[in-house]
Amino acid sequence: MKRLSVLGSTGSIGTQTLQVVRANKDDFVIKAIAANASADMLYEQAKEFNPEVVCIYDKKTAEANKSRFRGVSRLVSGIEGLIECAVLSDVDMVVGAVVGMIGVRPIIEAVKAGKDIALANKETLVTAGHIIMPLAKENNVKILPVDSEHSAIFQALNGENRSRLKRILLTASGGPFRGMSKEELKKVTLADALKHPNWNMGKKITIDSATMVNKGLEIMEASWLFNVPIDDILVVVQPQSVIHSMVEYVDGAVIAQLGTPDMRLPIQYALYYPDRVFLAGERLDFFKLSHIDFEEPDYDTFEGLSLAISAGNIGGSMPTVFNAANEYAVAKFIDGQIGFTDITYIIRKMMESHKVIENPDVDTILAVQNEVYQRIG
């Protein structure tokens, strides 16, 4: 029986992780769950799964709910609480599904503690991949991707000679605004941006998909996960989200992973790796699938993708600037303070004015993040 700590248990990936656990109760036990401030849902999860520790990251919310959790689970809060959930002595695997850079320290501490990581928090590798990947190797820790695209790549590489890999073909749906012009994007509302054509995800990642910043983050994440240069990762728009990604080998062979757009599949694959077990749900019907389309991304209109490639190639602290600027700008867009196209404008301005710091440590990464937040204001 595998013992899990789920960081971000009330979000999209977290709730679907618990769906997988619920369907396979004999194989998993939940030792810890954590969320930002969704106390009601966290309480219901705690009653159902009976974890040893529950973390509410927001300290005010935690204080207000202290008596509620008494007798259910031990309640902790803040970054210290997240780290405690990540390093519990009897946890085998940590599911990293928190949104944003608050996931960096807990994942690093989990790796140091020898916990395998099912990673959905892409910001962790984008900003600190140069720290985490060597640390994982040193501690014999598996970093198992939960993103559908990275899981697809991982599966397509399985059993192959990595030295014979030519390039990664990272697929993208193109989001809800594929084919639109820059002028049309200026009129996009929050409601428009939250209507993804294929996937049901949280707010931030849905908006990141609409700007294609998410695909840029995935390029940087893939580079660290699979030790592949940024320039050997090609984005291919595949609007139906049937092919989740592909790898091309030196002999010209291309291996792809196909499936329905169901995040439970990559989650379950990470939880059970290297095994596969039955997953209830829809299956691809190739006779109803009349065609699969491929397109080149519009790097000019969706500038966030170009900026991400630039940030990844520059390296050092620049990916942190890209990520922090996007996080803050998306939050302002959700709050109605800026327009949709202002997101990538802010990212570009922050990158243009940043002096790169090589090989930043965790404190430097977090300091750069805070500096970007302050500059955006």
Residue range 59-100, pLDDT digits in tens: 999 999 999 999 899 999 999 999 999 999 999 999 999 988
Burial (CB < 10 A; 0-12, 13-18, 19+), residue 262, is middle
Within 13 Å, how many C-alpha atoms sit on residue 269's CB side?
24
Quick check: 85 and 5 in contact, CB under 8 A? yes
Which residues, in sequence order, are bridge partners of residue 55?
34, 76
Write down the pLDDT at residue 355: 97
We find that the CATH architecture of domain 150-376 is Orthogonal Bundle (1.10)
Q: Alpha-carbon distance 53 to 46, whole Å?
A: 9
Q: 119: which residues sit within 8 A by CB, 6+ positions away? A: 96, 107, 125, 143, 144, 145, 146
Q: Tell me how far apart the terminal alpha carbons of the chain are, to the nearest angstrom.
A: 48
What DSSP assignment string belongs to 289-344? ------B---TTTSHHHHHHHHHHHH-TTHHHHHHHHHHHHHHHHHTTSS-TTHHH
Write down the pLDDT at residue 25: 96
Quick check: 95 and 6 in contact, CB under 8 A? yes
The three-class DSSP label of residue 2 is strand
pLDDT band at 202; cut points 50, 70, 90: confident
Residue 199 has pLDDT above 90, yes or no: no
Q: 354: which residues sit within 8 A by CB, 6+ positions away? A: 317, 318, 321, 368, 372
User: Among 32-41, 185-194, 198-207, 257-266, which stretch is predicted with the lowest mean pLDDT?
Assistant: 198-207
We find that the CATH architecture of domain 2-145 is 3-Layer(aba) Sandwich (3.40)
Average pLDDT of every residue of the chain:
96
- Segment 277-287 shows an average pLDDT of 95
Q: Could you tell me how many residues make up the chain?
A: 377
75 to each of 84, 120, 187, 365, how far by Cα in Å? Answer: 11, 24, 44, 28
Residue 149 has pLDDT above 90, yes or no: yes
User: Among 96-100, 250-254, 369-373, which stretch is predicted with the lowest mean pLDDT?
Assistant: 96-100
Burial (CB < 10 A; 0-12, 13-18, 19+), residue 89, is exposed
pLDDT tens column, 8-35: 999 999 999 999 999 999 999 999 999 9
Quick check: 239 and 330 in contact, CB under 8 A? no
Write down the pLDDT at residue 196: 76
Q: Alpha-carbon distance 273 to 184, whole Å?
A: 44
Neighbours of 15 (CB within 10 A): 17
- Segment 343-352 shows an average pLDDT of 98
pLDDT band at 137; cut points 50, 70, 90: very high
369 to each of 100, 214, 237, 322, 337, how far by Cα in Å? Answer: 11, 18, 30, 9, 20
Write down the pLDDT at residue 195: 83
Radius of gyration of the chain (CA): 20
Residue 200 has pLDDT above 70, yes or no: no
Q: Alpha-carbon distance 246 to 250, whole Å?
A: 14
Enumerate the domain spans of the chain. 2-145, 150-376
Residue 145 has pLDDT above 90, yes or no: yes
Residue 197 has pLDDT above 90, yes or no: no
**Residue reference for tokens 């080998």:** 249
Write down the pLDDT at residue 175: 87
Write down the pLDDT at residue 328: 96
Which ranges of 24-165 does DSSP label H, i.e. alpha helix? 39-49, 59-64, 66-69, 78-87, 104-112, 122-138, 148-157
Write down the pLDDT at residue 345: 97
Residue 297 has pLDDT above 90, yes or no: yes
